[in-house]
Amino acid sequence: MFNRALPSIGFGTWAWGNKFLWGYNSKNDDALLEETFNEAVNRGLNFIDTADSYGTGQLRGRSEELLGQFINKLTPAKSKNLIVATKLAPYPWRIGRKGFYSAFIASKERLQGKLDRVQLHWSTYRYAPWQEVQLMEGLCDFLESGDVSEIGVSNMGPNRLRWFHNRLSKRGIALKSLQIQFSLLSPEPHKHLDICDACNQLNIELLAYSPLAFGLLAIPPIEEKVQSTTLIRGNLFRRLLPSSIGLRKELHKIAVRRGRSQAQVALNWCRAHKAMPIVGLRNPIQAKDASDACKWHLTSNEKEALDIASQNCKMRMPNNPFQSI
């Protein structure tokens, strides 16, 4: 596990799912992903986040499947040291307290039994709060039966988080983690700081997905024309690159002064806010860079300078429509 006062860094297999969506068809890709996985594990990145919806259509669950294969090849000591978390999607047809049962069994089989934490993938509070309550009760059942050792939630605001924390506490169950979009460019930063405060007060681990804003925060301020593999990401970069120059200049300045990468600086900003950044890794070089970010920390002055640069950046990443209050 990681110390809440000094969060580590984890890696997520969402990038693998996206890769499959956009033309995955080669066993060479599997080999690169396995090499990346082993590099991350060997360098001490022991928290892995995935989901049953990563890899859709004919490739549904492919990220979990590959992850299970890779873990199964590790030594028992390395495998034991990993914390594997998956997220179950609250699709409209998954209803009632048993709504996640089949999905949970399928995920655990794909992961070849290595599943430590199960999480609600997003909040249904905005359109079906009753579904959310029943599905969370089902996750608690998995915990009480010993099928997993931890449960968590994603895309919840501080009000809903406190409500669930109180409800589960009456059942004697601790909510382990909350996962939200959190970066220097995440939307509504003032609300996310409220979430940070709530997690600290309730002793809930805060996990930050998209900590590099789809990689945009790793782009030097002198580079303004970036190729993107997807239409959505390309449109996002065209909108955010010009408006984030000031922020990326501050990131670049700190990176040069520290002899580190811009990505490491952005990840350590998350850590400075007591959040564990979950990085989507695509190759061993990125795995090394993420692990190196664990070896140092921002000073209070550097954190403050980045806070100000972030606040001055008016264009933000799009909000998750399922994020609750």
In a domain, 171, yes or no: yes
Q: Is residue 316 part of a domain?
A: no
pLDDT bucket at 5, cuts 50 / 70 / 90:
very low
Could you give the 3-state DSSP secondary structure of residue 206?
strand
Averaged pLDDT, 280-286: 92
Q: What is the pLDDT of residue 225?
A: 66
Report DSSP state, residue 312: T
Give 105-161 as a DSSP string.
Answer: HHHHHHTTT---EEEESS--TTT-HHHHHHHHHHHHHHHHTTS-SEEEEES--HHHH
Tens-digit pLDDT profile for residues 37-65:
999 999 999 999 999 988 655 557 888 99
How does DSSP classify residue 230? Answer: S
What was the pLDDT predicted at 227? Answer: 63
* Options 54, 91, 127, 209, the catalytic residue: 54
In a domain, 52, yes or no: yes
Alpha-carbon distance of 317 to 63, in angstroms, equals: 25
Q: Considering its fold, how many domains does the chain have in total?
A: 1
Mean pLDDT of the region 162-169: 97
How large is the average pLDDT for residues 53-82? Answer: 86
CB neighbours of residue 176 within 10 Å: 22
State the pTM of this model: 0.91
Contact 88, 118 (CB under 8 A): yes
Q: If DSSP codes are grouped into helix, strand and coil, which group holds residue 270? A: helix
pLDDT band at residue 13 using 50, 70 and 90 as cut-offs: confident
Contacts of residue 122, Cβ cutoff 8 Å, sequence gap at least 6: 89, 90, 154, 155, 320, 322
Cα–Cα nearest to 35, from 16, 58, 20: 16
Residues of the domain holding 184: 10-311
> Does residue 54 have an active-site annotation?
yes
Residues ≥6 apart with Cβ < 8 Å to 210: 181, 182, 183, 186, 317
pLDDT digits (tens, 9 = 90+) for 115-146: 999 999 999 999 999 999 999 999 999 999 99
Q: Is residue 14 part of a domain?
A: yes
Task: Classify residue 92: in a domain, yes or no.
Answer: yes
Distance CA 250, CA 74 (A): 40
146 belongs to a structural domain? yes
In tens, the pLDDT along 184-215 reads: 999 988 888 899 999 999 999 999 999 999 99
Phi, psi at residue 199, to the nearest 5°? -65, -40
Q: What percent of the chain has pLDDT over 90?
A: 76
What single-letter amino acid sits at 108? K
Question: Domain with 49 in it: what CATH number?
Answer: 3.20.20.100
State the pLDDT at residue 18: 38
Residue 31 CA to residue 238 CA, distance in Å, equals 32
Mean pLDDT within 223-243: 76
Give residues with Cβ within 8 angstroms of 220, minimum separation 6.
Answer: 248, 252, 262
Residue 325 forms part of a structural domain:
no
Task: Examine residue 319 and state whether it is found in any structural domain, yes or no.
Answer: no
Quote the pLDDT of residue 20.
32
pLDDT at 3: 39
Residue 22 has pLDDT above 50, yes or no: no
Let me know if 45 is exposed, middle or buried by CB neighbors in 10 A (0-12, 13-18, 19+). Answer: buried
Beta bridge partners of 153: 120, 178
- Residue 54 confidence (pLDDT): 86
